[in-house]
Amino acid sequence: MRRLLVALIGNGAALWLTTLIIGPVGGGVSVTAYPPGGVLETVLTYALLAAIFGLVNGLIGTAIRIVAFPLYILTLGLIALIVNGLLFLLVAWISGIIGFGLWVDSFWWGVLGAFVMGVFNWIVGLILRPLAGKQR
């Protein structure tokens, strides 16, 4: 349970940092909180988006990576950028249906957002790993 909570906090923090970096650049990736948009609503929005990211990456992302394994070998892993960008756009689409959350302007903003979020998720994971009880 503790690992799940740390993973959700890590995903939410990585998404928040991604929107801070990419959002002001050209408006490519942004998050719209629940109305009225206070601090509690914003934190809740990031927590729900982190949960959606976990589900999409855990279920759909794993299936795509297994099916597309030959493409990963053929492209030396570069197809991962495209797959992660599409999964990023899928999370934006799901949150748009629900009525809150992640907004991505185009496919390439989704690829950039997925890449930056992956880097931040790795850094935040290094910081939070002792809290999860996962030592390497």
In the chain, how many domains are there? Answer: 1
Rounded distance between C-alpha atoms, residue 77 and residue 70, angstroms? 10
49 assigned to some structural domain = yes
108 assigned to some structural domain = no
pLDDT of the residue at 37 = 75
Mind listing the pLDDT tens digit for each residue in 12-51? 999 999 999 887 766 789 898 888 878 999 999 999 999 9
74 assigned to some structural domain = yes
Mind listing the pLDDT tens digit for each residue in 113-122? 999 999 999 9
Give residue 54's domain range: 2-100+115-132
107 assigned to some structural domain = no
110 assigned to some structural domain = no
Please give the model's pTM, rounded to 2 decimal places.
0.87
71 assigned to some structural domain = yes
